[in-house]
Amino acid sequence: MSTRRNPNILITGTPGTGKTTLAESIAQTFGYKHIDVSSLVKEKDLHDGFDEEFQCWVLDEDKVCDEMEDQMTNGGVVVDHHSCEWFPERWFDLVIVLRTDTKELTDRMIKRKYNQLKIDNNIDCEIMQLILQEAFSSYKEEIIMELQSSTIEDNENNQQIISDWTKQFVQSRQQQ
């Protein structure tokens, strides 16, 4: 069990599920650091090139983990990324998997100007619950929460759920 006073939280899900919006909100609420892994990869060149077909950087998992390691040690970090199986299990106290209605998810990806191949691939991932399966195969079941993220109300509810959990985590650590 970690001795961190503040938790590290991973928010994951198919692209377009609202990970970054939720992560930014939680980080701001608690004064935690937010790491958007996709942005970090671009900023620090932690990739092996650009995938033209899917229009995304091919991240180098080892480089990303090396870059993040020191930041994760003391807690108080909210990480968002669309995959989760390659992060060290010891880093996270809570893993949130966001799920979105496929019609809403498609609309969001169209607004982002994703190509049809990328949209189809991501919708298939959402339908088959691939990110949720990754989470359950990579982390202890008791730290995983699956949350719906199709509406503004869902986002507000998710913020409250995570805030309540975080307050309880911090309070329990103060009592130790």
**Whether the predicted pLDDT of 1 surpasses 50:** no
Closest CA to 140 of 73, 84, 74: 84
Strand 56-59 vs strand 47-51: parallel, antiparallel, or unpaired?
Answer: antiparallel
pTM value surpassing 0.95 = no
Q: Per-residue pLDDT averaged across 81-86, rounded?
A: 94
Work out the pLDDT band at 51, boundaries 50, 70, 90: confident
Q: What is the pLDDT of residue 156?
A: 96
Provide the annotated binding site.
16, 18-21, 112
In CATH terms, the superfamily for domain 8-155 is P-loop containing nucleotide triphosphate hydrolases (3.40.50.300)
Q: Per-residue pLDDT averaged across 114-128, rounded?
A: 95
CB-CB contact of 26 with 32 (8 Å): yes
Task: Provide the residue ranges of all domains of the chain, joining segments of one domain with +.
Answer: 8-155
Provide the annotated binding site for ATP.
16, 18-21, 112
Closest CA to 8 of 25, 26, 19: 26
Q: What is the pLDDT of residue 86?
A: 95
**Whether the predicted pLDDT of 39 surpasses 50:** yes
Q: What is the pLDDT of residues 139-174, one digit of tens each?
A: 999 999 999 999 999 999 999 999 999 999 999 988
Mean predicted lDDT score pLDDT of the chain: 94
Q: What is the pLDDT of residue 163?
A: 98
Strand 8-13 vs strand 77-81: parallel, antiparallel, or unpaired?
Answer: parallel
